[in-house]
Amino acid sequence: MAILLQLIASGVAVGMIYAAIAFGYQLTFATSKTLNFGQGEALALGALFGLTLVPFIGYWLMIPLVLVFGFALGAVVERLGVRPAVKIKSEYGWIMATIALGIIFKNVAENVWGRDDLKFPSPLPETAIQVAGIRILPMELLIVGGALLMMLAVEIFNRKSIWGKAVVATSNDIDAAGLMGINTQRVITLSYSISAMTAAFAGVLVAPVTLTGATMGAVLALKAFAVAIIGGLESGLGVIVGGLILGVAETLTGFYISTGYKDVPGLILLLVVLSLRPVGLFGKAVIKKV
């Protein structure tokens, strides 16, 4: 039982990283029905940018600057990759455009920071602590708390601020929002900025417990996309539940079966959900009149 609880605790930390990245997918899909397939590169750039700043200003002061960096990066992706494709009503152009920008960002990162993985200094002690008989790294607690705090902050922003309410209105009905005077193009840009910002923040959360490099976000973003599909692309709660399910399933499989099969449960779950409930566990099917 102690081993099981230990594995679950580790899985929760991993799952919250997936959820934080998947939350970014959910934000852009809700407003524009498009996705940024360069989320992994946004995560890596955020971590590398933070690594550059840490020696000068420390970990905690670095975080606000990384958030600003991620926010600006998302606006660039929307302006260069998504808006032109949407403007000419290209159904899939934004997919290739965001992938292309992701490749460009990765190449820039490799040329600036190199191809070798780098060690990100931890702001907390690296010695595990005992919590109810379970050994947990302080950074794992920070990952869970930071990811939840970030998603809660975005939710409060959506509920309490004018721009947040505009995001919600655009998510519900983009045409009606436009008729009510909301600048939906700016709202879509905002959603991409917040999406990349959450990815960059996830990068500096996970970096101290892993190695930092230009390719660190590729696998994380792919799994986060699976989480978004499993939980539902239009459900914030769904991405949290999906992330926890996938994170725990991976750790249990890696320990009880083999680390070579730890990615299998998530793929199986993804196939099952797509077969039985294509809108995701918490997604809602919408009937549109044509």
Instruction: Please give the model's pTM, rounded to 2 decimal places.
Output: 0.89
pLDDT, tens digit (0-9, with 9 covering 90-100), for 103-146? 999 999 999 999 888 999 989 888 888 877 778 888 888 998 99
- Least confident piece of the model among 52-61, 179-188, 210-219, 262-271: 262-271
Asked if residue 219 has pLDDT above 90, the reply is no
Asked if residue 83 has pLDDT above 50, the reply is yes
Tell me whether residue 165 is exposed, middle or buried, using C-beta atoms within 10 angstroms of its C-beta: 0 to 12, 13 to 18, 19 or more: middle
| pLDDT score for 47 | 95
Q: Cα separation of 203 and 70, whole Å? A: 10
What band does 205 get if pLDDT is binned at 50, 70 and 90? very high
Asked if residue 288 has pLDDT above 70, the reply is no
Best CATH choice for the domain 1-276 from the list 3.30.70, 3.30.1460, 2.40.160, 1.10.3470: 1.10.3470
Q: Retrieve residue 29's tokens.
A: 């899909």
Q: Cα separation of 34 and 92, whole Å? A: 9
Asked if residue 190 has pLDDT above 50, the reply is yes
| pLDDT score for 27 | 86
Q: Cα separation of 91 and 232, whole Å? A: 21
Q: Retrieve residue 184's tokens.
A: 């939906």
| pLDDT score for 76 | 93
What is the percent of the chain where pLDDT is above 70? 96
| pLDDT score for 92 | 78
Place of tokens 């580790």: 10
| pLDDT score for 286 | 55
| pLDDT score for 290 | 47
Dihedral sign for Cα 40, 67, 227, 75, please.
negative
What band does 287 get if pLDDT is binned at 50, 70 and 90? low
Residue ranges of the alpha helices (H) in the chain? Answer: 2-32, 39-77, 83-87, 93-113, 138-160, 162-172, 174-179, 184-206, 217-231, 236-256, 264-276
The answer to whether 274 touches 229, Cβ cutoff 8 Å, is yes
| pLDDT score for 282 | 77
- Count other Cβ atoms within 10 Å, centred on residue 44: 30
